[in-house]
Structure 1
Amino acid sequence: MKKLCIAIVLFFSMNAIAQTESTFTYTEFHEPKINIAYLILGNFDVSYEYLINEETGVGVNLMIPFDDYVEWNINSNFTGYFRFYFGENYADGFFGEIFANLNSVEDSIEIEGGSRDEDITDLALGLSGGYKLVSQSGIVLEVFLGGGRNLFSEYNSQRNFDFVLRTGLNIGYRF
């Protein structure tokens, strides 16, 4: 009986010590964002990023032009990306990303005797980098720049859009 009492006392004392040493912090994992630079130019560009841990995140981006202020020649653009953060704070600071971009564009194809406009859907792979600031209240501001190359269209050697530019000035909220 004496050994059982000692074991129970040791078990509860270790449990109490473990609870006092552990620190639980709540970290936000979701970031919806809008690209304000593209919005000003007549292009609806929204992103959602899920933060896996303090150094990595995955996200999706949808871009659809809605105004002819700038002639985009883009019908739609859907991007998935994986980011690696280099800052000291949680998913903050400099980052690098790899992305896959499914794009649909109206492009001019050079053919024998002239050219013709055609809607082309293609997939581009690329790299980008940027910087993200996150305030204590959860406001997110990020700027990034990168590019990729379209891979699968049969017209790639005759196209204007064989290279995909990925750029933005995003503002959002982390929750």
Structure 2
Amino acid sequence: MKSIKSQVKSQIAVFFLLLISVGSFSQEVEITKEKTVRNEIKLNLMYLLGSTIDIAYEHILNENSSLGISLMHTLNEKNSMWKYGITPYYRMFFGKKEASGFFIEGNMAFYSEEINYGTWIYFGTPPPVEFETGFGAGFAIGGKFVNKNGFLVELYLGAGRNFINTDIIEEYYPRAGISIGKRF
């Protein structure tokens, strides 16, 4: 009976020694849940100063490119030459961080612009404010700066060529902004 007890004790001792040796040679595997941040929402402060709301949504495709859409609507037609605008765009980034730093942008715009009546002499009633639709394609260059918490500032400047109704509205449209936003 002593031999069985001693064998069980020795087997338990060997088991614990193996357990300790396996534990000492095992490697730690770090499991992290990395949150993938792929979306941004932004407000163009430059247009807001001119009584126009310009909100943009951007989806990050990979480290160097993104797709977005900008929606613009004026709050006061008398103070703005635009009524509304929809601008889809594609951006290619050249920064070290994901979708940040210097970028170039290709865009298209569908918008409503105030009709240009030419020179108006200040006698009598002014011509009515009327708008006409424009559609074009353009480009912009800029920079996007993102902090660790996902807040961002974006500066860009560019222009586009209007393809329709150029006899009564401008042939070119501006693409400019000083935007703040959040990556989520």
- Whether these two folds match at TM > 0.5 is yes
TM bin, normalised by shorter chain, reads 0.7 to 0.9
CA 1:117–1:33 in structure 2 vs 1: closer, same or farther (change >3 Å)?
closer
CA shift for structure 1 position 119: 2.6
Q: Report which of the two structures shows the higher radius of gyration computed on alpha carbons.
A: 2
Percent identity between the aligned chains? Answer: 32
Match of 1:78 among 86, 95, 98: 86
Output the CA distance in 2 between the equivalents of 1:93 and 1:131. 5
What does the per-residue CA deviation read over 1:33-87, in whole Å, with 9 as the maximum and x for residues that have no partner? 001121122111100000001100000001111136x732211111000000000
- SS in structure 2 opposite 1:161? coil
Q: 2:73 matched to which residue of 1?
A: 64
* TM superposition outliers: structure 1 runs of 4+ over 6 Å: 21-24
Are the counterparts in 1 of residues 69 and 87 from structure 2 also a CA contact under 8 Å? yes
Unaligned runs of 5+ in 2: 1-26, 119-126
Are the counterparts in 2 of residues 109 and 117 from structure 1 also a CA contact under 8 Å? no
What does the per-residue CA deviation read over 1:105-138, in whole Å, with 9 as the maximum and x for residues that have no partner? 121256xxxx997531121100001000000000
Q: 1:149 matched to which residue of 2?
A: 161
Output the CA distance in 1 between the equivalents of 2:34 and 2:75. 42
Are the counterparts in 2 of residues 109 and 118 from structure 1 also a CA contact under 8 Å? no
1:119 correspondence with 2:127: no
Q: 1:94 matched to which residue of 2?
A: 102
Are the counterparts in 1 of residues 50 and 80 from structure 2 also a CA contact under 8 Å? no
Match of 1:132 among 134, 137, 144: 144
Output the CA distance in 1 between the equivalents of 2:164 and 2:30. 55
- SS in structure 2 opposite 1:38? helix
Match of 2:43 among 21, 34, 39: 34
- SS in structure 1 opposite 2:47? helix
Output the CA distance in 2 between the equivalents of 1:41 and 1:117. 17
Are the counterparts in 2 of residues 81 and 98 from structure 1 also a CA contact under 8 Å? yes
Are the counterparts in 1 of residues 104 and 139 from structure 2 also a CA contact under 8 Å? yes
CA shift for structure 1 position 23: 7.8
Query: RMSD in angstroms over aligned alpha carbons?
Result: 2.7
TM-score with structure 1 length normalisation?
0.77
TM-score with structure 2 length normalisation?
0.73
Q: How many residue pairs align between the two structures?
A: 151
CA 1:40–1:118 in structure 2 vs 1: closer, same or farther (change >3 Å)?
closer
1:53 correspondence with 2:62: yes
Q: Structure 1 or 2: larger strand share? A: 1
Are the counterparts in 2 of residues 106 and 118 from structure 1 also a CA contact under 8 Å? yes
1:166 correspondence with 2:138: no
Unaligned runs of 5+ in 1: 1-16
Output the CA distance in 2 between the equivalents of 1:39 and 1:134. 21
